[in-house]
C-alpha cells in the first residue's frame, strides 16, 4: 500500500512538472501567431486623433493581433480596429489598448475580397503633450 501511494505521488509530481514546462511556467500563452510580425509606432496628440500601421498583405481570414509593448505615458490608451488599405471593411470591433495589452482584432477583410490590411488607432486617454505607443502586430494571427 505504501509503495502504491509513493508511486501515485511521484506520478502526480512528474505530471505537474511536465505541465509547468509545457505552459511556460504556469501561464499558458495564446500569443501564437502565423506569419510575420510588424512593428508599429503610433503618435497620438489628443483624444480622437488617428494614426495607423503600415499596410501589409492579408493572406487568411484569421483575426489580426496586436501587442502594445510601450507607452510614453503609463495609463495612456487608445482604441484600434482593422481595415483594408482603403479603410473599407473596417472591423465592427474596437479594441482597447494600453501598455502591456495584447488582443485579437476581428475583421472580415479577406472575406470581402481585399488582400491588404492595416490597424487604425484612435486616441482615448492622451496626455496634453500627446503620446507615443509602440509594439507589434500580425495581419494573420493564426486564430
- pLDDT of 10-66, one tens digit each? 444 444 444 433 433 333 334 445 678 999 999 999 999 999 999 999 999 999 999
pLDDT in tens, 52-79: 999 999 999 999 999 999 999 999 999 9
pTM for this predicted structure = 0.75
- Give CA–CA dist 27/14, Å, rounded: 18
Residue extents of the structural domains in the chain? 1-28, 37-138
CATH number (3.40.50.720, 1.10.8.640, 2.60.120.380, 2.40.50.140) of 37-138 reads 2.60.120.380
Amino acid at each position: 500500500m505504501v509503495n502504491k501511494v509513493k508511486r501515485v505521488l511521484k506520478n502526480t509530481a512528474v505530471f505537474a512538472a511536465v505541465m509547468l514546462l509545457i505552459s511556460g511556467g504556469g501561464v499558458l500563452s495564446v500569443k501564437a501567431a502565423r506569419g510575420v510580425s510588424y512593428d508599429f509606432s503610433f503618435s497620438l496628440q489628443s483624444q480622437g486623433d488617428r494614426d495607423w500601421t503600415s499596410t501589409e498583405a492579408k493572406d487568411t481570414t484569421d483575426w489580426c493581433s496586436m501587442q502594445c509593448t510601450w507607452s510614453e505615458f503609463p495609463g495612456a490608451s487608445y482604441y484600434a480596429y482593422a481595415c483594408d488599405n482603403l479603410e473599407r471593411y473596417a472591423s465592427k470591433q474596437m479594441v482597447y489598448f494600453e501598455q502591456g495589452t495584447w488582443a485579437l482584432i476581428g475583421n472580415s477583410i479577406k472575406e470581402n475580397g481585399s488582400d491588404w490590411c492595416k490597424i487604425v488607432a484612435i486616441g482615448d486617454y492622451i496626455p496634453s503633450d500627446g503620446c507615443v505607443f509602440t509594439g507589434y502586430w500580425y495581419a494573420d494571427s493564426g486564430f
